Amino acid sequence: KQGVRLTPMGKILFERCERIFCEFEDLKGSLDQRKQECQGELWIGASDNLCNYLLPSVLSSFLERYPKVQIKLFAGTAPAILNQLRDFQLELGLFYTPITDASLFLEEIANIEFVIVIAKDYSKRLGTKKIILKDLAKVGYLGSRVQDYSKPYPALNLLRKMGLNPEILIEVNQQETQKRLVEAGLGFSVLPRHMVQSELLQGTLIAIGTPKPLNSPLYLARRRNRTLSFTALRWVDTLREGLLHRSG
């Protein structure tokens, strides 16, 4: 019930074994690069909104070029992806939150625009023709689960930077569900523009104007002491191309 702790000798053994296994994985990665062919499995982790909206086109381009690769895609929260990276269950991870972990190498690869969204007909409840930022004090916030993060997650952090401390109505660990709840008229949320663009164009959702664009970095993470496979390097190249094309 009190948990298990390593003895001093056990800790030494664990740390040495971890270095040995890391060296072994690094060796495999170096040899794999020398093959100069994309094949085998590629394990990637990302949040659900990235998996559902941003990555499909990138993966399509990648598999068109390298059809011998099998993609193993894990959709989860930042802590879940982090744990799998630490346990060598993933080779690459994508994060909105800056991860502070000495075992990981973190690189900012894009700047993602977020937008405050609410159902189009919510203005009737507020008795106004157009919802503005200050009206959100009267509306419930639909966000991620605070318990899943050690610090305020990007969307909540963006709101607080604008001086808003929203009343959290519903917390859910998937942004896709947050979007559905917004569409159902339960409140407002802050979501990446790429996952609500269609609804904004169709008019089922509306964007609340902000003094300046709401942007959050997107980070690519990998094990610091592990050489990326040749396949992973080519996927990163394809990812960069896809993000550049989207921003352009």
- The 10s digit of each residue's pLDDT in 188-201 is 999 999 999 999 99
**pTM of the entire predicted model:** 0.78
Using one digit for the tens of pLDDT, what is the confidence trace for 113-160?
A: 999 999 998 988 888 888 999 999 899 999 988 887 777 788 888 888
**Sign of the dihedral through C-alpha 61, 66, 68, 73:** negative
Task: Tell me how crowded residue 216 is: count the other CB atoms within 10 A of its CB.
Answer: 20
pLDDT for res 129: 85
pLDDT for res 112: 92
Across the chain, mean pLDDT equals 88
CA distance 224 to 77: 21
Using one digit for the tens of pLDDT, what is the confidence trace for 221-236?
A: 999 878 888 899 999 9
